[in-house]
Structure 1
């Protein structure tokens, strides 16, 4: 399993097209350029607009990657943490 990088222009083949369509809509609504789903033993850590000092702000399981609504719900929760500054090591 490897990390998945989603942008407003592309998504890896592991992300189903209907799921990417919903994620893309969410990214545009929130003015997000990049999402990295960082592979780990529990699934994927969610990094929003990642920089070198960023840490995951949410977690999504492998199964949830197939469900657009659930993935967007996880993105929304991660977004709130991101806005609170919980995404950096400072």
Structure 2
């Protein structure tokens, strides 16, 4: 999900995006995704809509379903949807913790 690349710079985190894959059940896995890692964006300065636009530019596609996984959890237990500003705030709180 996310981690800080430099402990002295709390605004920048590393976020690994996995997209264009498919979910498979039992156990839940995300199969054959494309991947991108972002190290130079201050996501704390984004709102949900700005984040979605950033994802659109990064992946060159629009996704209607966006998920994040809680750190240290399996995908089946830690997956959460990202659909509004409240979800985005939860994502940021976890990422910057």
| TM-score normalised per structure 2 | 0.29
| TM-score normalised per structure 1 | 0.30
The structure with more radius of gyration:
2
Structure that is richer in helix per residue: 1
